[in-house]
Amino acid sequence: MTKGYHNYRGRGRKRRQQIVLAAVLVAVILAAAAFLVIQNYIVYDDAGKAHIEWPFRKEEPQPDQQEPGVPDGEVTIDYVDTGYAPHLETLHAQMLETNILRQDPQAVLDSLTENAFAVETKRVNGSITYTSAVEVPQQVDVAQYDTMANLQTLLAGDAYSIARMSVFCDSYFVRAYPDAAMRVESGSFWYDAASMAWLDPTNPQVLVYITTLCQEYAQLGFDEIALDYFSYPTAGRLDSIAGLEGVDKVQVLTDFVQSLRANLPDSVKVSIVLRSEPAADFGLSPEMLAQNFDRIYLEAGVDAAALRQQLPEKFGADTRLVPIVAVPAETGKTCKSDHYHQ
């Protein structure tokens, strides 16, 4: 009996050890999975500090909350027949770092290796990178440090200047104007594969907001505005976006950009940054691009040769179709590796 009893206890101890080991392994696997998930929601502010922004904890204010700066109500949309833009000079531009406005502007100008530069004025999350004079909603993140003097010095130079802005991908503006957000059938905000909210191009407040910012770019002296994320969403659960049945997306974006151009000086060029092949599902077509934009910038992955074949011959693709290429950044330079080259 004693011998059998000891054998029984030995098997029990071994089983408990196996259970503990299995529990430890499960805990390690869960911790690793949580770490990978959290990486998608880490957001860095202008000071470089990281914090976690969960999609399910993003505030969705009530529609009747109204901030100054963007009128509530109908907006009259003006249309302009831009036709085909005249021949443009070949462009070689450097995409400057997002923190460039905190650096010595003269040193930045002295370091330029191209005849033009691009500055990101509105990030993909909707934050404003400079001290804008536009009365934006308080929910929008605006640069806390005074950058206006540095920006004005950059724009006063001889280099050709481009303001690059994210248009419809914007997680900040929807916090002030939830009615401006794309949604799912349940009424919640729709988020793309990167957990970013998107603005509804048909919402009048969106048109006013983007137009007001672009007018400020023009007043500051930018020569060109490059519209990034100017499309309907291209990644994520696109079939879950509500309210798109029967919508002529190409016409919606055509109306938007034509109204925008009608409210800007003719001297300011308006271009687009393409991140995917133009398609009607995204609100873009080759003819629409040719008719409404001075230049078409192509991110990596877009087939320049194929798009050139689709564009009208009179578009002048030799100088108006501009691939964005990566080149090694030189030591000490203030530019990123992205160059706009033809």
pLDDT at site 240: 94
For residue 328, pLDDT over 60 is answered with no
pLDDT at site 84: 42
What are the CA-CA distances from residue 11 to residues 1, 20, 21, 23 (Å)? 16, 14, 15, 18
The pLDDT tens digits for 242-270 are: 999 999 999 999 999 999 999 999 999 99
Q: From the centroid of its chain, how far is CA 255? A: 20
CA dihedral for 151, 155, 157, 158, sign (positive or negative): positive
CA quadruple 192, 194, 196, 202: dihedral, nearest 10? -40
Q: Which of 228, 315, 339 is nearest to 274 (CA)?
A: 228
Q: Are 79 and 255 in contact (CB under 8 A)?
A: yes
What is the mean predicted confidence (pLDDT) over 129-147? 80
For residue 71, pLDDT over 50 is answered with no
Write a three-state SS string for 20-75. HHHHHHHHHHHHHHHHHHHHCCEEECCCCCEEECCHHHCCCCCCCCCCCCCCCCCC
Assigned architecture for domain 62-340: Alpha-Beta Barrel (3.20)
Question: How far is it, in rounded angstroms, from Cα 47 to Cα 120?
Answer: 16
Its pTM stands at 0.74
Return the higher-pLDDT residue of 233 and 87: 233
Q: Coil, helix or strand for 12?
A: helix
Q: Which of 123, 127, 131 is nearest to 151 (CA)?
A: 131
* Average pLDDT over all residues of the chain: 78
Q: Are 172 and 125 in contact (CB under 8 A)?
A: yes
Question: How far is it, in rounded angstroms, from Cα 232 to Cα 200?
Answer: 8
Question: How far is it, in rounded angstroms, from Cα 165 to Cα 16?
Answer: 59
Question: How far is it, in rounded angstroms, from Cα 292 to Cα 274?
Answer: 14
Q: Which of 271, 158, 183, 292 is nearest to 233 (CA)?
A: 183
Show Cβ contacts of residue 53 under 8 Å, excluding neighbours closer than 6 positions: 41, 42, 43
Confidence class for position 61, pLDDT limits 50, 70, 90: very low
Q: Are 222 and 214 in contact (CB under 8 A)?
A: no
Q: Are 148 and 131 in contact (CB under 8 A)?
A: yes
For residue 323, pLDDT over 70 is answered with yes
Percent of the chain with pLDDT over 70: 71
